[in-house]
Structure 1
């Protein structure tokens, strides 16, 4: 089973994103000239900063004492100070964890950093303030950089599907088994990071290291709060009950957005790359699914994702087409007849050999393998 470190080692050698990396660079090189230091608290590293060459370095959102800041500016370094009063760090060097986004959940979801970031977004997105839009853009670019580092070398399979799939339903349990099987096969499972089918697939990946009975028990426990409506707080608390009962589960990725702020991120994705700009998030999610995508039944959002994925496969703009597996024949040929259009687009092109329609969710992993995932 593939695992992902909390912080991948594949980033630019000049980037420093943790205090440990800062200390190691100072000890090994005696210089930070030309480095990029990102969202590291340097309040207790004044002596090191005063005694180290920082010419040409850039410090992004690093708390530090004023004497240190004055010295490194004198060296010719650029210092972008932390932005006070924000519920998020625009310069962050790592993707989010569930614990970080859901901190303060005992006080209710409204008290969490996730809910406070959404509230800030709602206040600022329509006021035309260039400063707020710049902060959102810097944040999203930082998250993309962190996600690229995290997934470097991973074989990523996306699982897409609707947010309305209820905990406790057969469909939810099936999506969870799919996520578990993909994770056990060595894939990194990536979803839109929200509730419903997305949560189920992340849950399945979380369950991968445990015996098979664990997933059945977890699904039963989660059914106490089948939806994030009417209470996100109860929905999230139930998820953390599962995590507390079975700690140290498997890894996966969730890529949600504050654009759909009424949908909270699910706590079963070990790594959460959350964006303000939904367009950046959508394109980035599908672009990183280098081993294929499984599309479970969904509505407008899932239809959009199918054709967002089909377009680069059609034009081969990202290289060789990646596998696309649609699950539930009746849904994709009758209720929302997406499959016939996808077939027509693929006809005579190399992507024709990379698309499949299956009836049952249990058939998806084999179809993915057959298509070259």
Structure 2
């Protein structure tokens, strides 16, 4: 694919991915189209080499940084309470840590937004949320969604670092513009494992669906076999959601019983309670 650098030494910036005003002509969109069409050994090798370069660049970027992951549903539209809660969580966590997400829309976008604005007054975040709310979703127009994000970006010209780890496997969902660094992978399984791995300070799980549940138990598996000193906190937000709507908490609690992770799994009602566990 023209423009694909399999030897790049740095992570992407949003400007790298959104290098055209028309999203359909952007590098991000071109890479997705190419990935869907690629089927030969040369294309497969290019994807592997690209992802290895991203691995190396990511390892350098996270060095000497403490990352807290925020996992949650892509379906949280701008202008909703769920979106505002994720943004506030990102802002609270970003005061002491680097916020890392899956790099997509919804709760991921909101948490990256809050993380980059952690050094600004709360009023600035509220202003950003207002600007974004005029275009709730990337459907039907990614271009309109991007323009609203660029308007909100003007409020944080000197952002706190924030990481997004998206994948072209889900290329129909555009990456958000609020992560200051983007580790975008072709291979989703690798991307999922790496995202959980780099969140060394722990992960907050907001309400979500299949992807979020997968991340909970993928992270739980790592913590289940971890030594005492390497267990990272797991915080589920939404008592009713995680005990009744999608009852992941009882299984997680049972899995943790008697293990080193037992004292590091938490169920809370609000993002404010979650943030205090990382203070």
Note whether the superposition's TM-score is higher than 0.5: yes
Matched, 1:214 2:214: no
Higher relative contact order (CA 8 A, sep 6+): 2
CA deviation digits over 1:83-129, x for unaligned, max 9? xx523211111000011110112xx21011000000100111xx2x1
Q: TM-score, normalised by structure 1?
A: 0.73
Unaligned stretches of 5+ in structure 1? 1-84
Matched, 1:172 2:88: no
Matched, 1:281 2:191: yes
SS at match of 2:69: strand
Match of 2:4 in 1: 88
The aligned length equals: 279
Unaligned stretches of 5+ in structure 2? none
Match of 2:246 in 1: 336
1:29-178 superposed matches below 5 A: 85-105=1-21, 108-124=22-38, 127=39, 129-178=40-89
CA distance in 2, matches of 1:271, 1:326: 26
CA deviation digits over 1:334-354, x for unaligned, max 9? 010000000010011110000
Q: TM-score, normalised by structure 2?
A: 0.97
CA distance in 1, matches of 2:69, 2:155: 27
CA distance in 2, matches of 1:366, 1:313: 21
1:325–1:368 contact (8 Å) kept in structure 2: no
2:228–2:260 contact (8 Å) kept in structure 1: no
Match of 1:194 in 2: 104
SS at match of 1:350: coil
Q: Which has the larger radius of gyration?
A: 1
Q: Report the aligned-residue RMSD.
A: 1.3
1:202–1:254 contact (8 Å) kept in structure 2: yes
CA distance in 2, matches of 1:181, 1:114: 30
Match of 1:363 in 2: 273
CA distance in 2, matches of 1:210, 1:319: 34
Shift of residue 317, structure 1, vs aligned partner: 7.0
CA distance in 2, matches of 1:201, 1:291: 16
CA distance in 2, matches of 1:246, 1:283: 30
CA distance in 2, matches of 1:230, 1:362: 33
